[in-house]
Structure 1
């Protein structure tokens, strides 16, 4: 028989040594005391306030709007769908009030497992954010049999970054940028604020703060992780940053000159994208020792591609099996650097081009080049969110709402030199290109980067350039102690890859949380090659293929044996 709640409260209060800690919510009992059941303790968090002075940036108070006890649940497999088992936990949802009353709240979620390992994982977002990241999903690139962090005993947390996308039209997803506080929250502030609120909640619930806090994200979430290491090095112990949008403001601007020519003859249909992908495979596939429809030797491929070989007779568009001069110009622009007329944050003046290979792998539904660069139809102004390439949708939103701040502006007329002061200001807020990670590394912080070479959203070269900039700033020894860059050839922005010739899935799944944690807690550095896998999505998660994921600048070169086995590959240096 359970003891009365009042008796449990008295016992727990006597055991609580941290009830006066900053951010503590008065009247609550730490579950860590062992004196109160989680099912009783969890709901008492609802309605509580974390005061603004417990948050390390200017903010309003945080309020916990709901706190629900969630019992453990077993795994569920139905057909090709699988849901991993989840542990007993307390699901906390809340909001942080803005300073500017015209700004929207920051929404957040914190998940508190009853069996806590003393650590926390903050999940990153994606794109323009605006949707609550719950912290309950599998990590990016996880295999189906990799346990989610909550199941491993981590507290998990996430946010919508301080705006709600449902408030804006589908073709105006950047409209929150009209408000200075909402823009700053998206750039960096919301993640720090939610981190501080989550620590206060953990102090309250467990009676102690976490021993380790990690940030794990991809794309925009990868940028967020780099931002935390750069701006708040004392707050995080490790970061996994997958395909990070290092130069966010520069990336979005570089989309414009790659999109505008598509209005008048430069657009590639999905059929033409297939023609391009087939040609690239013919030229680059076997450079890794195996003709399997997968480009692994990423640095050697570009010099093998001569787009003139695809030119339609006379340069006019004569069908799906060739490219017109205007279409060749668009493809060439995607794979060349874009030079800005003046430097932006941290002296950056160039946004690099993309690599070739895997243009037709679904990412996640449309072929990757169609989804990102060319779209399902000729672009329109304003963009049609149903058919527009992400280049045009994201780029035009950035210009309209972050730079010009006029939703009626015709982005086809945009010239960066006409908005230099504003571009410099926004770049300083958004771009995560500061190579000085000395403070983060000095306190033992570890950083794992992953770049996907079939990524046509953000350029993998931008991540490589950032890695090289950190090395130049801090030296080889510091980077070797604290930073790794892994390359996943052929992987799209979202992660998956497939053979261009057969459609067979490529091994791209890998757990990066476990090696990060071992590196931080045990000083056990990750291997030079990690094993990526491809597995069936339901038990028994049959292994389909494996291959090594090599440290930059290496790639997996086939040396003989079973092409589906990692042991049949050797990491070799890729050279232009």
Structure 2
């Protein structure tokens, strides 16, 4: 079906054809659209797209109208091709709510496919769809350069003025919270298709979604709530069990008010102890914990306890510090059931304590700083900041609420409401399977922002619900050992970067268009950062439950590893 647009913004050369498409009785998916206009026509069409509106009736949820506020033909520059950049917004439906901002990039040489980018954190910043994909190898062409039409959104709120310390403030508005939860992505996708139908005279032959962290949650939500909208989804380190994770942030924040913060030396103490216990479990002592499921049985945080439990310096951990770490590495148990019956958020895995880019414990859990209340400092560990914002704005809905007094049982009704909105834990993907959708999930075992076990447990719940054979036909879960939330990893002992990048968009597109499923072992590479982007090292990223086991030879080559089964 080709959505109705106002035609004043379309080039005269094909406005009549676009209008005919919206009016004819042949608007089913089986119709053959007219040829895509030529480059010259598309160049002329771009500026005229400004002012184009998409009626609420063409958006698959109750919505305000969408309006293109700016249309600019961007010349080819660097690696990006010539494209028509559309920026616009979808009007709010209630007083006080922000519009949903979006950007759509339409290459004049189009591969007839589209890719939606996911967001991150609490969103609130416009995702423009021009960046390199998460975990993309150096030298890999960006999707826009590959001919994809790309687009993204701010998810329906503008947090640029307060994101550093109060990222959850928008949640005081019900419409903005629902848009963040799931509605904005559907609305923007429908708007983008309406605009593509007006510009290219057809909607894309394939529509994909690619996101990580919060964006990974968004991708899974699309498969669960809007299974007919996307042909394929890549979900990287997804915040699947959002509500459980954020309650866990609060749990590891509380001990830090009473001596539970860890400084850099104490974090190093933990990292070294983990490495001593678990580095060799993958067949090679290289400062990388690759056998991620075997490590927890071989390392106990209590082995680092100071005699008597008091803080006596950096050579051991106090009881308060151990409480902080136990809350991060241990499960978060809720006193009632959340969406889809879940009561527990799993703990983190060992092996990502110190990582490149200041990732690891210091970025997400504790950095030696005692938290501030009610408003945290921008320099607090990010999990501390996020937990406070969740407690104050999403649950208590009181900016002055003291997170130290947070008790989940007191807020049962509100937490369950939020869980029903936010959590991407529904294991029934049968509708997505029936429409031919493909789903690739990547977890990073060294992730300190969220637990990779949440993704593993979700995958297992889908298998339990749908059966292994059915799941094998449309879903893959891969685990990148030791990789942090941002995707990188380095040897704890030498500092050498580990190969962690891979092209999951190509795997998804091949699976969707040809039916060729991704291999059980995908090549992860570390490329030079300048042309010709020579591959310096490679290692397999194994399909769960596998991990890369060293079998001999050059440790920088993928051929020196095999995917072995990782087990507790």
Residue 218 of structure 2, aligned match among 224, 228, 240: 224
Residue 484 of structure 1, aligned match among 476, 481, 489: 476
Residue 174 of structure 1, aligned match among 160, 168, 178: 168
Structure 2 CA distance for aligned equivalents of residues 43 and 315 of structure 1:
68
In the alignment, is residue 18 of structure 1 matched against residue 24 of structure 2? no
Query: Counterpart in 2 of 1:97?
Result: 91
Residue 329 of structure 1, aligned match among 320, 323, 333: 323
Moved over 4 A (4+): 14-17
Residue 345 of structure 1, aligned match among 302, 326, 339: 339
Q: Secondary structure at the match of 1:397?
A: helix
Q: How does 1:446-457 map to 2 (within 5 A)?
A: 446-457=438-449
How far off is 1:312 after superposition? 2.4
Structure 1 CA distance for aligned equivalents of residues 117 and 73 of structure 2:
21
Structure 2 CA distance for aligned equivalents of residues 559 and 415 of structure 1:
50
How far off is 1:34 after superposition? 2.5
In the alignment, is residue 34 of structure 1 matched against residue 38 of structure 2? yes
Residue 182 of structure 2, aligned match among 176, 185, 188: 188
In the alignment, is residue 43 of structure 1 matched against residue 35 of structure 2? no
Structure 2 CA distance for aligned equivalents of residues 398 and 14 of structure 1:
50
Q: Secondary structure at the match of 1:94?
A: strand
Structure 1 CA distance for aligned equivalents of residues 502 and 40 of structure 2:
38
Structure 1 CA distance for aligned equivalents of residues 375 and 222 of structure 2:
33
How far off is 1:48 after superposition? 1.5
Query: Counterpart in 2 of 1:427?
Result: 419
1:147-196 deviations in Å (ceiling 9; x for gaps):
11111111100000000112436321101000010000000000000000
In the alignment, is residue 9 of structure 1 matched against residue 12 of structure 2? yes
How far off is 1:101 after superposition? 2.3
How far off is 1:14 after superposition? 5.5
In the alignment, is residue 261 of structure 1 matched against residue 249 of structure 2? no
How far off is 1:542 after superposition? 2.5
Q: Secondary structure at the match of 1:37?
A: helix
Residue 54 of structure 1, aligned match among 40, 54, 58: 58
Query: Counterpart in 2 of 1:369?
Result: 361
How far off is 1:377 after superposition? 1.3
Structure 1 CA distance for aligned equivalents of residues 230 and 436 of structure 2:
10
Task: Describe the shift of the 1:347–1:479 C-alpha distance in structure 2 as closer, same or farther (beyond 3 A).
Answer: same
CA contact under 8 A between 1:16 and 1:207: conserved in structure 2? no
Query: Counterpart in 2 of 1:537?
Result: 529
How far off is 1:389 after superposition? 1.2
Task: Describe the shift of the 1:12–1:188 C-alpha distance in structure 2 as closer, same or farther (beyond 3 A).
Answer: closer
Q: Secondary structure at the match of 2:473?
A: helix
Q: How does 1:119-138 map to 2 (within 5 A)?
A: 119-138=113-132
Structure 2 CA distance for aligned equivalents of residues 558 and 385 of structure 1:
43
CA contact under 8 A between 1:237 and 1:444: conserved in structure 2? yes
How far off is 1:333 after superposition? 2.2
Structure 2 CA distance for aligned equivalents of residues 127 and 315 of structure 1:
35
* Greater CA drift, 119-128 or 46-55: 46-55
1:19-59 deviations in Å (ceiling 9; x for gaps):
5479x9xxxxx992328433321000011211111111111
1:385-412 deviations in Å (ceiling 9; x for gaps):
3321111111111111111111111111
Normalised to the residue count of structure 2, the TM-score between the two structures is: 0.94
Query: Counterpart in 2 of 1:405?
Result: 397
Structure 2 CA distance for aligned equivalents of residues 348 and 14 of structure 1:
52
CA contact under 8 A between 1:248 and 1:430: conserved in structure 2? yes
In the alignment, is residue 282 of structure 1 matched against residue 276 of structure 2? yes
CA contact under 8 A between 2:261 and 2:368: conserved in structure 1? no
CA contact under 8 A between 1:530 and 1:548: conserved in structure 2? yes
Structure 2 CA distance for aligned equivalents of residues 454 and 554 of structure 1:
15
CA contact under 8 A between 2:11 and 2:48: conserved in structure 1? no
How far off is 1:536 after superposition? 1.8
CA contact under 8 A between 1:358 and 1:498: conserved in structure 2? no
In the alignment, is residue 314 of structure 1 matched against residue 308 of structure 2? yes
* Greater CA drift, 154-163 or 254-263: 254-263
Q: Secondary structure at the match of 1:463?
A: helix
Q: Secondary structure at the match of 2:354?
A: coil
CA contact under 8 A between 2:554 and 2:560: conserved in structure 1? yes
Q: How does 1:295-306 map to 2 (within 5 A)?
A: 295-306=289-300
Q: Secondary structure at the match of 1:152?
A: coil
Q: Secondary structure at the match of 2:355?
A: coil
How far off is 1:318 after superposition? 1.8
